[in-house]
Structure 1
């Protein structure tokens, strides 16, 4: 009787174990099916979007990237996964990301938990092209808050960047000569004054007006005048350093800002006089201009043009930028009154100004 009971209990237990295993197996199959469905949904969501979705380990080696990257940059996923993210970027982009990492590390060292960051950098393409992309990067953390990796989205912004640059160029640069316009000139002059005040080194502003411009327009039309202004701009840029600024003030007037002359006023006067004389000589050389007359293209004309140059040496002692421009303009008119094709200094009452 007892043996029968034991056999019966054993059978029930065995049946229960079998039923549990069958239930567990069904549950695992259901979970696996759900996982596969989730993975399929993830692939559909990530592979059909126009943005690049990526994931990287804590050392910034790519562990996942969706096919959009191949459409944009030309690299297959197996050419990217396992490689460092820096291989995607230009040197400037690497510097940007390095700086972001440094800032994050400094904050994390102070106990600050940092979140997502967004930045815009250039990416390298397989065919050698460069494209701009806005990157959203978010850190992944373990239970203790330590960063275990990163994931994010990269969205191409090349066209947006081009339009932004075009808008900025229209706002700050002369469309004919490509030189800074009056608005940007005023900003550059303000920077020069601030730098001069900080360093105690003199700078100078040259105000130039072309002496023989109107007769060219009257005789050969505005096209000839435009060609002359473009050539004048080229010669002006060739006559100064990269740190200096050449701007078109308006019409046939140009302004040159010479930075970092000398701490001594007399020496600074000598230096800027040498630069101004070089510019005067460059602008006085004959111009060969190509103009159209009556539909016939490419007629070459020779034109001689000089410039009257007013010079204002300055140091950042609180003087208003507009006042410097007015004083240089006044010196330019004094140069015209002196016979043109010459230069004239404005001398303020206080020669240290």
Structure 2
């Protein structure tokens, strides 16, 4: 080699970016600056004093011995004239790093030297690892991934994309990305996607695609534009998520949110939504609609006697019958419980509504067979009209509800249109309810006491406590004016316990004052009797007042006892176990209870006043009274006749050996101070006290 060539070679050798070394017989004899920097040596002498084997870890990444593998690589280079391979080298400080090695044998002065070129490939290996990791993530993700060129030709997809659409990879590569369009979206939809991609570089949203088998399904798609180093767009990527399950769940949740779970009809929320929409349409087109509010009559008796499961079956059948009675454009909804509504659209006059309401009654009031029981549904329908009876959802609903209660008050199985008088009546009822609440808080409800006499001796043996409302402005209000509303609103429970508490305290005071035993009878309302805390509340009142349980009789009507027989029996048994006496009030007017009477732990039967009233004129009434007294005597039960108003009635009852009686012949119900005077006078009956009142 001539000197100029040698000089050029030396310049290239020294200034190469790659590390270059010369090995002679297993020793370094030359190297460039890049080799020193790469290996961490300051001067060549230090490197030359190091054996090449010291620049490698004991083993390579494949587990092979570095020494053995180095000899193998040198042998290959000698055989081929050069050899390129990857290697793990070790720096002077012990740090390992990857290099690409090129071994080239070169003859020099009769010897064979090795020319070694090392290129640090740390960054390349890191990039390869990142690419490998990215590919692993792409291939293992459950979301479909697609890459296209700027002409939307597919250049890469992952396995999830193929699984999603049902294609093999080779079937989609090279195809236009729009090949799987569902046909559900118009051009405007796709135009908006392109506008977003061009302006913002991305788009995301729900879209429908078509699988290879033709199935159309929903996906959530995220599109992004990929830019090169110069900022030019070069690829599009799409990320696909199958949202079939999510959409199905949303539909189910929407159905649960807007449809009644029992009947499948629209529920209260959807009813309000549709009525609001239809009112807007009616206002725009100046059309009319009607709202029907439907309530099943005596449905509670079905639940109580046959159970809630059979009650549900009846509701399903009634809802279906109502639906079949109207047009498909009309809306039938279940508001909850035993209440349904119907929205009738595009009405010409009231006669159309009358026809529909009549048809609903005719279709619904037919026997339903449930668990071998024949049940005939009964219903009341209230009707309000738009715009005559209101222009808002609340007004129309409230007025239809009021009309329904008016139909119910007339006996049910009929319909009634809303009238303004109902609105005024509703206002009066609301005012009365508020006044009752105030009255309960301020002690306006007080017990009046009607004495009960033993017929043989004429002695006063007890009394029945009856509630009166001492109104500060309206004076004394009788029970028939407020008890029905108290029952309806639930105030009857507070009222009942208040009367029981006051009566127990008052009678306990009389017992102590006059040193005589007196029994007290107090009526229980249906709500009280079926409440879960009845026993607890009665015990509390007895403990607070000191009134002996054996002197307290709770009166329960016959009809109340015939609802849920087993539950009734359990409640009565607990009351008797607490030491209380039990009486069946209005006996003889209920439901075939004679067959159950022997099961109920009662002490007393109170003959209904309707039989006493007709005792002198009606043979059937006399027969019923004789039967009741005879049966009670056989069962060792007390009998009390209610509503005795004249001496002829009294004489007949004494003839039949009736034990006790009460009524206006003896005394009207008295306030506490007047009843105290009756006790002070000895308590014997000689003449009527006070005048009968209506």
Give the TM-score, by structure 1 length. 0.70
3-state SS of paired residue (1:319):
coil
Equivalent-residue separation in structure 1 for 2:366 and 2:151 (angstroms): 60
Partners of 1:159 and 1:70 in 2: how far apart?
19
Q: Distance in 1 between matches of 2:387 and 2:232?
A: 53
How does 1:24-63 map onto structure 2 within 5 Å?
42-56=134-148, 62-63=154-155
Indicate whether 1:87 and 2:180 are aligned.
Answer: yes
Count of equivalent residues: 318
CA distance in 1, matches of 2:369, 2:235: 63
> Which position in structure 2 is the counterpart of 1:75?
167
Match of 1:100 among 186, 189, 193: 189
Distance in 2 between residues matched to 1:278 and 1:154, nearest whole Å: 53
Deviation at 1:280, TM superposition (A): 2.7
RCO greater where, 1 or 2, for CA within 8 Å and sep 6 or more? 1
2:301 equivalent in structure 1: 215
Match of 1:152 in 2: 238
Q: Secondary structure at the match of 1:174?
A: coil
Deviation at 1:250, TM superposition (A): 1.6
Partner residue, 1:176: 262
Contact kept? 2:161, 2:240, Cα under 8 Å: no
Pair 1:329-2:424 in alignment: no
* Pick aligned residue for 1:231 from 317, 322, 346: 317
Which of 373, 385, 390 lines up with 1:313 in the alignment?
A: 385
Q: Report the Cα distance in structure 1 between the residues aligned to 2:388 and 2:171, rounded to whole angstroms.
A: 55
Pair 1:66 & 2:158 matched: yes
Counterpart selection for 2:362 from 254, 272, 281 = 281
Is contact 1:193–1:315 with CA below 8 Å preserved after alignment? no
Distance 1:45 1:213, change over 3 A: same
Cα deviation, 1:8-67, whole Å, max 9, x if unaligned, reads: 89xx8xxx9xxx9xxxxx9xxx99999988865553332121111123567766554321
For the 8 Å contact 2:180–2:211, the answer to whether it is kept is no
Partner Cα distance (2:232, 2:322) in 1 = 57
Call closer, same or farther: CA 1:113–1:309 in 2, change over 3 Å: same
Alpha-carbon offset, residue 163 of structure 1: 3.7
**Pair 1:302-2:383 in alignment:** no
**Given the superposition, is the C-alpha separation of residues 193 and 288 from structure 1 closer, same or farther in structure 2, using an over 3 Å criterion?**
same
Cα 1:272–1:103 shift into 2, 3 Å: farther
> What secondary structure sits across from 1:55 in the alignment?
strand
RMSD: 4.4
1:341 corresponds in structure 2 to 413
Unaligned runs of 5+ in 2: 17-99, 101-120, 422-694
2:131, 2:377 → 1: CA distance?
74
Contact 1:197 1:316 in 2 (8 A): no
3-state SS, counterpart of residue 199 of structure 2: coil
Deviations along 1:211-235, one digit per CA (max 9) or x if unpaired, are 3523322332111111111222223
SS at match of 1:113: helix
Structure 1 pair 339/56, CA: closer, same or farther in 2 (3 Å)? Answer: farther
* CA distance 1:273–1:115, change in 2 (3 Å): farther
Q: CA 1:270–1:151 in structure 2 vs 1: closer, same or farther (change >3 Å)?
A: farther
Cα pair 1:61 1:85 within 8 Å, conserved: no
For structure 1, which segment, 313-322 or 272-281, has the greater mean C-alpha deviation from structure 2 after superposition?
A: 313-322
Gaps of 5+ in 1: 1-7, 21-25, 292-299
Does residue 271 of structure 2 align to residue 185 of structure 1? yes
How far apart, in 1, do the equivalents of 2:406 and 2:397 lie?
Answer: 14
For 1:245, which of 331, 340, 347 is the aligned residue? 331
In the aligned structure 2, how far is the partner of 1:107 from the partner of 1:155? 20
> Equivalent residue of 2:219, what SS?
strand
Instruction: Indicate if the aligned counterparts of 2:196 and 2:203 stay in contact, CA closer than 8 A.
Output: no
Please give the alpha-carbon distance, in whole angstroms, between the structure 2 residues aligned to 1:315 and 1:61: 61
Q: Distance in 2 between matches of 1:302 and 1:60?
A: 69
Task: Tell me by how many angstroms 1:204 deviates.
Answer: 1.9
> Of residues 351, 373, 386 in structure 2, which corresponds to 1:270?
351
Residues 212, 78 of structure 1: alpha-carbon distance in 2 compared, 3 angstrom cutoff = farther
| Residues 202 and 313, structure 1, Cα contact 8 Å, conserved in 2 | yes
1:198 equivalent in alignment to 2:249:
no
Instruction: Say whether the 8 Å CA contact 1:62–1:85 is kept in structure 2.
Output: no
Comparing 335-344 with 59-68, greater Cα deviation is found at: 59-68
Closer, same or farther: CA 80–287 of 1 in aligned 2, 3 Å: farther
